[in-house]
Structure 1
């Protein structure tokens, strides 16, 4: 069973994503910001990390950078809905720093599940 860490300061979205992934058979953990997420990842690495970009304390770009330093093999999905003018550029930067998939909020949970499965299948190859 793949282990997935979900990092997002929006509690309702984070819990919804966790529920969808739990129902799909994944093991999930949650963190409310990048600092908490990195701490949880250090204690128990995940196969996949789903992170928001705009968060307090440690934002997603810095979180992705640190995740890549800790584990070059971890799969990362970055998501953002903040800053209508800058949303695309944040996601572009996330991809350049090593996010395997980027999603613009709002997105359908089916799109997230497809992205999760694609990332994890690529990891198995």
Structure 2
């Protein structure tokens, strides 16, 4: 399946965050699929090859760091933005750790649509 640079996968266990990101990305012309966690996301990419992934870090079933690792295995060239409101856990900065695991960029919650679009536009040029 051919990848479009407008295909974006958004992964977050908060339905409000999913809806907000889907709406703002659709308005910018992106084709958006959403998943509640990394496990659901892995199943989605069988039919939808993303150019970009926006993933939360703290989620049930398959959390963000594991999701980033898995998506890097499946799609080495995909651009990944990690998002979280829980910056620190167990003494580690979750956003910095996400970069170590392969995220290309990070955005802290709460964020504006412009924050996310700006990062995505930089990565997908």
TM norm structure 1: 0.90
Give unpaired runs (5+ residues) of structure 1.
none
Matched, 1:60 2:64: yes
Residue correspondence of structure 1 range 36-51 to structure 2 within 5 A: 36-51=40-55
More helix by share: 1
Q: Tell me if the contact between 2:88 and 2:94 (Cα under 8 Å) persists in the aligned partners.
A: no
Secondary structure of 1:54's counterpart equals coil
Which residue, out of 1, 7, 27, partners 1:3?
7
How many residue pairs align between the two structures?
A: 120
1:19 corresponds to which residue? 23
Which residue, out of 62, 65, 75, partners 1:71?
75
Give unpaired runs (5+ residues) of structure 2.
none
Matched, 1:94 2:101: no
TM norm structure 2: 0.90
CA 1:106–1:23 in 2, change beyond 3 Å: closer, same or farther?
same
Structure 1 distance, partners of 2:88, 2:11, is 23
1:114 corresponds to which residue? 118
Structure 2 distance, partners of 1:90, 1:39, is 25
Structure 2 distance, partners of 1:101, 1:85, is 17
